[in-house]
Amino acid sequence: MTQTARDIFVVGLRNAHAMETQARELLERQSERLDEYPEVKQKVAAHLQETNTQLKRLEQCLEACGETTSSLKDTAQSIAANTMAMAHSMAGDEILKNTFANNAFEHFEIAAYKSLLALCPAAGMESARAPLEASLKEEERMAAWIDANVAKVTMDYVTHEQAA
């Protein structure tokens, strides 16, 4: 059982690393286009720093398992993120589409970290618990911030559109 759980855990870590690679690309692309929304830009920049730290934590967890990241998964997720960002940038309501997508993505990340945390005991990787919990808390804070600011971002967008 431990080996199977450990294998699943390692795949989960690699998937989470690819997921955070995608998040980093999305946040980088979005931050380039948020000058009209300084509060959102500041939050995205702060979460980008957290995302870079989360990537390092996942790499450390993989190293503790004697494993490495998946270049294929990381590259595929990076391409997907840039494609999505490009598609949203062509929309007039880019800020709204990004807000909705970010809300969904944060919850995806939360679920991924909860799954990894559930696997820690069975995989014999209790040492990964603290870094994974730290990343989970960061994702939960970002998700809560997005949720609390959907209405504000929407109305800021309306204000910008009416002024244009």
User: What stretches of the chain show up as alpha helix (H) in DSSP?
Assistant: 2-31, 38-64, 71-89, 94-123, 129-163
Domains, the chain, with CATH or none: 2-163 (1.20.1260.10)
Could you read off the pLDDT of 96-136 as tens digits, one per residue? 999 999 999 999 999 999 999 999 999 999 999 999 999 99
Q: Which of 79, 2, 47 is nearest to 145 (CA)?
A: 47
pTM tops 0.85, yes or no: yes
